[in-house]
Amino acid sequence: MQETHLAKLRRIMHEEVGAWQPRLLMIDGLIRLLPRYTAARLRPRLLRLAGIAIGHGTVVMGPLRLHGYGPIHRRLRIGAHCVINTDCFFDLNDCITIADHVGIGHEVMILTASHQMGDAGHRVGPLITAPVVIEAGAWIGARALLLPGIRIGAGSVVAAGSVVTRTVPANTLVGGVPAKPIRTLA
């Protein structure tokens, strides 16, 4: 049976409106009013009000761009005593877990969604998601890009501008496009 235009419109509206996060949208609007590099301790408190799990002592230096479908506030967990710089992009179609004492530079992108390769007629295939984990003490340099399904090991450093396509072992400095191990850290 063919779906009527009204039924189709109703279904689309339900799907789109179901993705709205009113409390998160309101909190995000307040955060965007705050000047960058000020109120770094207030932002985590506001994000907690939106339902995001953030540990004690974490500072957020500017607005975050949080994207994804559905209850994205449940998919982001940030540990204690982290420093997250301004304008980071978190794709929350799957979970992002950031452990304690992690430093994240400005404009870092963490992706949890990608697409399978389709056929020649339509290369963008079905959406796939995978979680990203950043272990304790890691440092992610400015404008680094972390792809879905990777893990950054404890105490590791991702050089600025790197594209991380594979899991990084603990205490390793990686850099480049794609990121490769540069040296082991003490």
Q: Is the pLDDT of residue 115 over 80?
A: yes
One-letter amino acid at 56 equals H
Residue 18 confidence (pLDDT): 58
Residue 176 confidence (pLDDT): 97
Residue 16 confidence (pLDDT): 66
**Cis bond upstream, residue 126 (ω within 30):** no
Helices (H) and strands (E) in the chain, counts: 3, 19
pTM for this predicted structure:
0.87
Q: What is the mean pLDDT of residues 35-47?
A: 90
Q: What domains appear along the chain, each with residue ranges and CATH number?
A: 21-184 (2.160.10.10)
Confirm whether 115 is a catalytic residue. yes
Q: What angle do CA 117, 118, 119 make, to 5 degrees?
A: 130
Mean residue pLDDT of the chain comes to 92
pLDDT in tens, 19-39: 667 788 888 888 888 888 888
Distance CA(157)–CA(84), nearest Å, equals: 15
Of 5, 56, 67, 115, the active-site residue reads 115
Element (H, E) at 8: helix 5-17
Q: What is the mean pLDDT of residues 54-75?
A: 93
Q: Is the pLDDT of residue 85 over 90?
A: yes
Q: Is the pLDDT of residue 1 over 60?
A: no
